[in-house]
Amino acid sequence: MTTGSTSSASRVHATEGAEVRHPPSPETGGASTADVEALSAVDALAQLSFLVQATLERRAAEHDVSIVVTRLMGILRDRTPTMNELAALLELDKSSVSGLVDRAVRRGFVQRMPSATDRRSVRVALTDEGRRMAVDVTSEFGSDIERLLAPLSERDGKSLTRIATAVLARHVSERGSAADGADEFA
């Protein structure tokens, strides 16, 4: 029989009179293996989200950019949205997106272009330097995620992809068509 008491440093189990400590793991944000195995679906998704976010933050920092700039470049890899469309895709207000684009323009990652169909509208596109950075970050982040998923069987990997895609598709459909196809780094 296993009973447990939790401390912030580790999880302790009393198993048939013996105390077993499961040390915290850096890969699980300080949680022990036993802690991770006992997660609910909500907790597991939250912890996985934190792990993916931390991985992307690390990659962004290695390239001396913020995670929001990384998301911006991820969105711009295959499209040239208007500022309004970009605000919807990033789920940010227009003034925040304007400041973000200003900073990315100063760094040479993106450029503003007049819209071919609406002279009042401005589109945002990656520069060659921004495209190179987007390719590098995408490749590195993809390798990081592949390493995270390596313990999964092929079947489990496909199931995870199918479930994640279904959740994301519902989110996109609920928030409207402005963000359709939003495939960013995060």
- Cut 0.85: pTM above it: no
Mark whether 20 and 64 lie in a shared domain. no
Q: What share of the chain is helix, strand, coil (3-state, %, to 5)?
A: 60, 15, 30
Residue 154 falls within a domain, yes or no? yes
Residue 121 falls within a domain, yes or no? yes
How many domains, in total, are found in the chain? Answer: 2
Q: Cα(94)–Cα(64) distance, rounded to whole angstroms?
A: 24
pLDDT category at 41 given cuts 50, 70, 90 is confident
Residue 186 falls within a domain, yes or no? no
Answer yes or no: is pLDDT of 80 > 50.
yes
Residue 185 falls within a domain, yes or no? no
Mark whether 57 and 145 lie in a shared domain. yes
Mark whether 33 and 83 lie in a shared domain. no
Mark whether 59 and 151 lie in a shared domain. yes
Residue 108, sorted as left (phi over 0), alpha (psi -120 to 50) or beta, turns out to be left
Answer yes or no: is pLDDT of 166 > 80.
yes
The angle at the Cα of 128, spanning 186 to 145, to the nearest 5 degrees, equals: 25
- Domain that includes residue 10, residue range: 1-38
How many Å is the maximal CA-CA distance in the chain? 77
* Cα–Cα distances in angstroms (integers) from residue 31 to residues 25, 58, 152, 173, in the given order: 6, 20, 20, 35
Mark whether 5 and 87 lie in a shared domain. no
Task: Look up tokens 């036993």; give the residue.
Answer: 34
Mark whether 54 and 32 lie in a shared domain. no
In the three-class reduction of DSSP (H, G, I as helix; E, B as strand; rest coil), residue 124 is classed as strand
> Which burial class, exposed, middle or buried, applies to 157 when counting CB atoms under 10 A from its CB (0-12, 13-18, 19+)?
middle
Output the six-digit token pair for 12. Answer: 């302790």
Mark whether 97 and 30 lie in a shared domain. no
Q: Cα(138)–Cα(150) distance, rounded to whole angstroms?
A: 18
> Which burial class, exposed, middle or buried, applies to 178 when counting CB atoms under 10 A from its CB (0-12, 13-18, 19+)?
middle
So what's the pLDDT on residue 24?
47
So what's the pLDDT on residue 68?
94
pLDDT category at 36 given cuts 50, 70, 90 is low
